[in-house]
Amino acid sequence: MSQSIATKELARRIVNQVETFILDVRNTDDFDDWKIEGESVEIINEPYFNLIDGVDALAGRINKNQEVIVVCARGNSSKMAAETMEEAGFTNVYDLEGGMQAWSQHLEPVKIADLSEGGSLYQFVRLGKGCLSYMAVSEQEAAVIDANRMTDVYERFAQEKGVTIKHTIDTHLHADHISGSRQLAENTGGSYHLPPKDAGEVTFDYKPLKEDHDMTVGNTTIKVQPLYSPGHTIGSTSLIIDHQYLLTGDILFLKSIGRPDLAGKADDWVGDLRETLYSRYKKLSDELIVLPAHYSSVEELGEDGSVQAKLGDLYQRNAGLQVEDEQSFRDMVTENLPPQPNEHETIRQTNMGKINPEVEEQREMETGPNRCAVNA
């Protein structure tokens, strides 16, 4: 009987850069589209179909005594593949519980900093999807920003810290993953905040997230600055926390910039995107720490597993911030758009409250990589 490993344990290995060998038994097209990555991860692909009658396809590729974690879509094929390998004499084989579907849902909390007036800021890293969400904690209160739909993770974390979630905030109407912010507010009795320019079609009540409407969490001021920062969406709004941390949503990432086309408005919004990146953000302190809502590659994870960088450093090294000519910028953005995220329009409809898919359908809708960035 094969052993299993939980997504939580695998996530900690990757964050701590423990050497990990993975055999992914999904179809090659699925593997090429989206896989588990990490600085310390070695991964090979051999479709399960090729392992049904034996493990000859693995000859010379895996040592029979080395530790191997077998991964599939939902955890069924990997379990059978692991058992076949054990029967063939492999001695240290694990299957990943729940497969890539479970991996896509795991959130790993990482502490960013203690805040100057008391309290702390945490980043929740969704390693299997590249999503980043945040919790600011001060005294007995908390605010959660860009929550994923797995609301129980934030609720448990708040309970562990002895705080009540008073505010949930979406920096924009998400199109690549289902927001948990509204549900989290309902569960905890908090208030849900959304930029009004992104809320024209929503079917629910919300508090407008806009300039000069600061929020206080315990002793910590969450300041919404001139940042109204459109471009990814027309309502995109950045947050400055504790005068030190710039939560950029999907406008600016560490190695790329936001895409303006997920509502079909690329030509209209690319000008807004440039205005935000080359004017609005330029007026801010270079010392602000950028905390985005996504990351694109494992290289963006720091040694502590967090994703962060100084704004001034990004102006020096992020290619998306180096294009001075306006037409060249427009061409770069519109010509380098990656494929649309899976089910992006259905996800937008869900986040507007127009449809309410069952949990299993929501999992399926989110499967696959995040595609919120334009890489210059």
- Confidence (pLDDT) at 262: 61
Instruction: Tokens for 333, please give them.
Output: 């953005």
Backbone angles phi, psi at 297, to 5 degrees: -145, 160
- Confidence (pLDDT) at 72: 97
User: What are the C-alpha distances in Å from 263 to residues 210, 340, 341?
Assistant: 21, 10, 12
Provide the total of helices (H) and of strands (E) in the chain, helices listed first: 11, 20
DSSP 280: I
- Confidence (pLDDT) at 365: 86
- Confidence (pLDDT) at 275: 93
The pTM assigned to this predicted structure is 0.91
- Confidence (pLDDT) at 1: 63
Tell me the C-alpha distance between 273 and 259, whole Å: 8
Q: Is 61 helix (H, G, I), strand (E, B) or coil?
A: coil
How open is the CA angle 117-123-126, to the nearest 5 degrees?
Answer: 170
- Confidence (pLDDT) at 263: 64
- Confidence (pLDDT) at 264: 65
Can you spell out the DSSP letters for 122-155? Answer: EEEEETTTTEEEEEEEETTEEEEES-BS-HHHHH
Q: Is 301 helix (H, G, I), strand (E, B) or coil?
A: coil
- Confidence (pLDDT) at 24: 98
Q: Would you mind telling me the total number of residues written for the chain in this entry?
A: 376
Q: Which residue has the tokens 């289902």?
A: 178
The answer to whether residue 72 is catalytic is: yes
- Confidence (pLDDT) at 148: 96
Query: pLDDT digit of tens for each residue in the chain (376 aa)?
Result: 669 999 999 999 998 889 999 999 999 999 998 899 988 999 999 999 999 989 999 999 999 999 999 999 999 999 999 999 999 999 999 999 999 999 989 999 999 999 988 899 999 999 988 999 999 999 999 999 999 999 999 999 999 999 999 999 999 999 889 999 999 999 999 999 999 999 999 999 999 998 888 888 988 887 776 578 888 888 999 999 999 999 999 999 999 998 887 666 677 788 999 999 999 999 999 999 999 999 988 889 998 889 999 999 999 999 999 998 999 998 888 887 777 767 888 999 999 999 999 998 998 888 777 766 776 5
* Count of CA atoms in the C-beta half-sphere (13 A) of 262: 34
Domains, in order of start, for the chain? 3-103 (3.40.250.10), 105-366 (3.60.15.10)
- Confidence (pLDDT) at 3: 93
* Active-site residue, from 58, 72, 142, 309: 72
Q: Is 208 helix (H, G, I), strand (E, B) or coil?
A: strand
- Confidence (pLDDT) at 223: 77
